[in-house]
Amino acid sequence: MKKLLLPFVILAVLLGATDTWAKPAKPVVVTSFAGYDALMNDVKFLGKLSDTPELAITVDFVVKMATKGKGLAGLDTARPWGGAILPKKDGNYEGYGFLPVKDLKKLVEVVKPLVQSVEELDNGAFKLTTEDGEVAYIREKGGWAFIAAGVEVLGNVPADPLTILGGLEKEYDLAVRFNLGNVPTAMRDEFLAGIKTGIEEGLREQPELKESKALKKAVEGFSKHTFEFFKVLIDELDHVTLGWSLDQKMEKIVMDAVIVAKKETELARSVDALEKATSDFGGFLVPGAAMTARISGTAPKSKIAAVEGLVDIFRVAALQAAAEETDGETEKKILQKLLNDFSDVIEKTVQSAKIDGAVSLLLEKKSLTMIAGGYVADGYALEKLMKDMIEIAKEEGEEDVDLIKLDADKLKGVRFHTVSVPLDEEDDEDLKKLFGKTLDVAVGFGKQSVYLAAGRNALDSLKRAIRESALQTSEVVPPLRASISVASICEFVARVGETEEERWEAAKVAELLADSPGKDHVTLTARPISNGVHYRLEVEPGLLRMFGRMVAEAKEEEEQ
């Protein structure tokens, strides 16, 4: 019960608001909870899914214990809860929470054990005083109990508080929305000024910047562009929503982050462009892989400038390190040229604003293979850099250079180079089982692409993914997709974990997930919406069953 009601008391107390507006301000933050009945419905479902039907009984027992047998008397358990934070004219904030009630006096009796004292006032409100001496007020209006730090705030609450939630209570079990577009300009400017001051103070505290004018200039440029990027976000974001729900139909836990920009802004145009995102690396999302990830799209101009600043810092710092740590003018010039050429490729890639790449990790009983591919502005330039570095290593007498095979193969304009590193007798036996006698690595370079693979059949796996990618280049794809198979990871750790305890724990989880084949994934996706992006994290039913059973087993062990 404390977890259900006390946050609303704390919220109201911390806001410390007493002023009122002639015209109520729009909330900058709203919170939503679907209600106690919705919570218990989810608890019952989780109990059924995980073969622990006593879960709901346990929650109900905890509530009765916390309220000394009173339960939730006076509360309307069928309706949602919520809260709001609003800006004040003086630059501070005020807020309130609200609960659905059938009888406020009965609910106050339930709350009494949670606070130090309760006093009924003449205006029908109740004054609640916590053990720390903080004060909050609660009053009923139209079947809703509003709670705030100042009794004056209760005079400006809406007749129907559900109107401020914007439907969050129907879409999510628990949600919070940050309405950045409702933050007054003066407050936004003050916040940005604080960020700028913090950046400037941070720069003054870096002694190494005083020793290098070039590095100082690069860092200052990066800081400037980073601040401008944050300014764009603060000025152009309309709202951000974080929501959690249990999708009983799909038997999944769903967590959303919905980011929406103001219409006709640079940010809105950049996210709208994601609707047409395609990828040249679709074949690198291998079905059945233990882990896959792909990102595609374009970066907004403000972000490009910030990343360019980061590249400048890398360039300057790397060149200075080369100058200080390299003996001989010839070697120094060669290394500095390589670093400059590498930085040029990265800078051109950032300036293109294009983002595209994918990776998969394949775990089999006797093998491990990783493949990855990504866009770069000039893949052949990177290839030349690699060959130049190999040539320098040969001239310096590096023994392992002989293991490298240049121009080992080619496919569709991509040139491949391989290296096979022998595994010595001292190497872990589990590594030998996974990779064989050698650890095989393959890299590939195309006109605007770079590829990497490591593990068994590295080159063949890379070529297979490139062929498959060529068949999917015209397909519109989500700007982000990543997935992890927990069962595959645990089965792998159970075989090669460093300690017996680690292997045992992984095997236990894998055994629990074996009852839900193919339903053991955690997946993150992003899809474009009007003026924004909708990110979603999904947890599949096999993991819900596993967690429920683990909780039940832990409880049984405690009772023994």
Instruction: Please provide the DSSP assignment of 228-266 as one string.
Output: HHHHHHHHHEEEEEEEEEEETTTTEEEEEEEEEEPTTSH
Q: Please list, residue by residue across 357-387, b when 16 or more beta carbons sit within 10 angstroms of its beta carbon and e when fewer do.
A: bbbbbbbeeeebbbbbbbbbbbbbebbebbe
Strand partners, 254: 245, 538
**Do 467 and 473 contact (CB within 8 A), yes or no?**
no
- Token duo for residue 170: 């129907």
DSSP 113-141: GGSSEEEE-TTS-EEEE-TTS-EEEEEEE
- Token duo for residue 351: 């300036």
**Do 98 and 163 contact (CB within 8 A), yes or no?**
no
pLDDT recorded at residue 15 = 41
- pLDDT for 61-75, tens place per residue? 888 887 777 788 899
CA distance 173 to 36: 10
pLDDT recorded at residue 82 = 97
Q: What torsion do the CA atoms of 398, 403, 409, 412 make, to the nearest 10 degrees?
A: -60
Give the closest residue to 156 by CA, choosing from 13, 25, 7: 25
**Burial tier of 529 (Cβ tally within 10 Å: 0-12, 13-18, 19+):** middle
Domain span(s) for CATH 3.40.1000 in the chain: 278-296+355-477
**Do 271 and 528 contact (CB within 8 A), yes or no?**
yes
Residues of the chain with pLDDT under 50: 1-22
CA distance 77 to 59: 14
CA distance 115 to 134: 10
CA distance 495 to 507: 8
CATH code, residues 278-296+355-477: 3.40.1000
**Burial tier of 76 (Cβ tally within 10 Å: 0-12, 13-18, 19+):** buried
Q: What DSSP state is assigned to residue 497? A: -
Helix 36-49 and helix 541-559, axial crossing angle in degrees, nearest 10: 90
**Helices of type H across 50-184:** 54-66, 104-111, 168-171
Three-state helix/strand/coil letters over 446-468: ECCEEEEEEECCHHHHHHHHHHH
The set of residues, in sequence order, having a beta carbon less than 8 Å from that of 141 and lying 6+ positions away, is 154, 157, 159
**Do 84 and 70 contact (CB within 8 A), yes or no?**
no
Q: What DSSP state is assigned to residue 69? A: T
The pTM (predicted TM-score) of the whole model is 0.87
Give the closest residue to 542 by CA, choosing from 526, 528, 525, 522: 522
Cβ count within 10 A of residue 67: 20
pLDDT recorded at residue 559 = 64
Phi, psi of 431 (to 5 degrees): -65, -40
Give the closest residue to 174 by CA, choosing from 63, 82, 55: 82
Q: What DSSP state is assigned to residue 527? A: E
pLDDT recorded at residue 148 = 94
Cβ count within 10 A of residue 298: 19
